[in-house]
A and B are shown apart, each in its own frame.
Chain A
Amino acid sequence: MAIIDLQNVTYKYPLTDAPALKSVNLQVHEGEFVAVIGPNGAGKSTLCYTIAGFVPHFFKGELTGSVEVAGSESSKSNLHEWVLNVGLAFQNPFNQISGAKYTVFEEIAFGLENIGVPREEMKSRVEDALKLTGISDLADRSPYSLSGGQQQRVALTSILVMHPKVLVLDEPTSQMDPIGTREVFGVIRKLSEQGMTVVMVEHKVEWIAEFADKVVALHDGSVLLEGNPQAVLTSDLLTDKGFGISRYTSAARKAKELGMWKKDKLPVTLDEAVEGFSLTPNPSPQRRGE
């Protein structure tokens, strides 16, 4: 059974004419890691807010269709109950810092204080979460003294510590360096393997191809494509509609036109590209820069 079930969801923000989501259908199974891609204004963030309950409870506006997460129906639920099942972290880390806490440790404990977790359990959960995302060394720092990437990790950790069943992430690695991004993707992958359901908006398609189970491509408020990462990310439709695609895909597509790419499938990651290109008649494995 799907843990996230969106049926024919259409949503309009207050004071706007055009709907931000148009008849969106989306089913996500428990433990699945789903990546959402799309150009600006495609409705990615609105989709996140919808799953996380902020649409329509926080933003108001007009929602039709049904949103069901973990067996309960959004329209019949309260936001403060909803957030116990669904964790949301979004892009701007600075605005996700509560502003009421003086250290990272306290900051991460903030959510647990709110939902009334006993002190001893709180401490061990915060310590575990810090270890999980690799920021134990920041525990005593002020959240405001951190870099953007570190703050993003803090924001992610403060949601993870609440042990949500569904994790919704809106570009959680936008301010991180490649090493940080890999670590965070690794952590999220691990959590998803342990049964947490993850919906993540992300532009870094090569990472998606490597880590996600499924990709949903949003365009102009509706689902354009949905399926396994390889198939979706190499689809011709994406380039036509202005999606950002992997440079390996672009290169291989060019190569295909010139008859230099012999495989059926186009690559998304470096490894796939390397593997494909080595099928050419003259396989000299001298790759530059390696």
Chain B
Amino acid sequence: MSLNRSFFVPTQSFFHSRNPLTKLTFVFTMIALAFFTLPWMAPALILPIFVMGFIGKVQKQYLNVIAKLILPTITFMFIMQSVFLPDGPTILFSIWRFDVSLETVRSAFLTVSRIFVMISSFTLLLLTTHPSELMSDLTRRGLPGQFAYVIISTLQILPQMQAKAQTIINAQRSRGLDTQSSFIRRAGSLIPLVGPLVFGSLVEVEERAIAIEARGFTSTHAKTSLHDVPDTSVDKAIRWLLVALVIFTLILKLWPS
């Protein structure tokens, strides 16, 4: 069981020292540019975003995500879309009954570059932002505390549930539960796991609710935050610039028509 419960890479970089809202704005700007503005935008963003992984000094983890998550996903999507989308007039080659045309390859390329930009920018956000910082900044800006709690505790509790499921499986196995034979029998053997895991979790939820209530969770005082999350003028400037960029490209897209 991994004890590391966030993607965050603790180091110093231009990206790390930006306010979480700035990085969030960056993510949504990238998505807006890639999906809703000019069609050449998404492919054009691939290289800049890739370079940003190095500026943020998280290239090792970022390349890892690219290799394990992004590349397999987009390769699969690219092949499927190229082969199965309705063909255009320019047939490049045929595989069995399916024709691959220049138009479908183009459209598949556009889709995968959009996916690449989206996942990459989220990855950069997660790698360079500590979850507590993100949440305390958003709470300070008016996100309801309960909402922030739900998000951040889910991130932490999932590995806990996983570990607990493993404990229950081991306990059941030590009492003779079969977990290693045919698929059907193994699927059947999951049933005794569900009861303890689900009901146990419900009891835990009650206790946890008491525990956080005892620590003033529903207090009507304005909450404060342990972490001071700086919001510099550079951050504000970057955010306005990003917003302006989105507006500008949207205008470019809409202008000629």
- Where the two chains meet, the residues of A that have a C-beta atom closer than 8 Å to any C-beta of B are 49, 52, 54, 58, 79-80, 83-84, 87-90, 92, 94-102, 105-106, 109-119, 122-123, 126, 142, 144-145, 155, 158-159, 162
Contact = CB atoms under 8 A, between A and B. Distances in A.
B219 A80 contact: yes
Interface of B: 3, 5-6, 130-132, 135, 145, 148-149, 152-153, 156-157, 160, 204, 207-228
Contacts of A145: 3
B153 A98 contact: yes
Nearest to B3: A145
Contacts of A92: 207
Contacts of A98: 149, 153, 208, 211-212, 215
B210 A144 contact: no
Nearest to A114: B216
Given A83-B216, A115-B216, A144-B3, 17 more contacts: A54-B210, A80-B213, A83-B214, A97-B211, A98-B215, A99-B160, A102-B130, A106-B132, A106-B227, A113-B223, A119-B224, A119-B228, A122-B224, A123-B226, A155-B211, A158-B215, A162-B216
Nearest to B208: A95
A115 B211 CA distance: 15
Ranked nearest first, the 6 interchain pairs of A and B with the lowest CB-CB distance are A111-B215, A116-B221, A95-B207, A114-B216, A99-B153, A96-B211
A116 B6 CA distance: 26
Contacts of A112: 224, 226
Contact of A90 (B3, B130, B145, B207): B207
Contact of A142 (B3, B209, B210, B218): B3
A119 B216 contact: no
Given A111-B216, A144-B3, A159-B215, A116 B222 contact: yes
A100 B153 contact: yes
Given A84-B216, A111-B215, A162-B215, A102 B131 contact: yes
Contacts of B220: 80
Nearest to A102: B132
A226 B152 CA distance: 45
A107 to B, nearest CB: 10
A118 B228 CA distance: 11
Contacts of B157: 99
B226 A79 contact: no
Contacts of B210: 49, 54, 58, 88, 90
A244 B215 CA distance: 32
Contact of A144 (B5, B152, B204): B5
Contacts of B145: 114
A75 to B, nearest CB: 18
Nearest to B148: A100
B216 A58 contact: no
Nearest to B205: A95
Contacts of B208: 95-96, 98-99
Nearest to B152: A100
A114 to B, nearest CB: 4
Contacts of A99: 152-153, 156-157, 160, 208
A117 B223 CA distance: 8
A98 B210 CA distance: 10
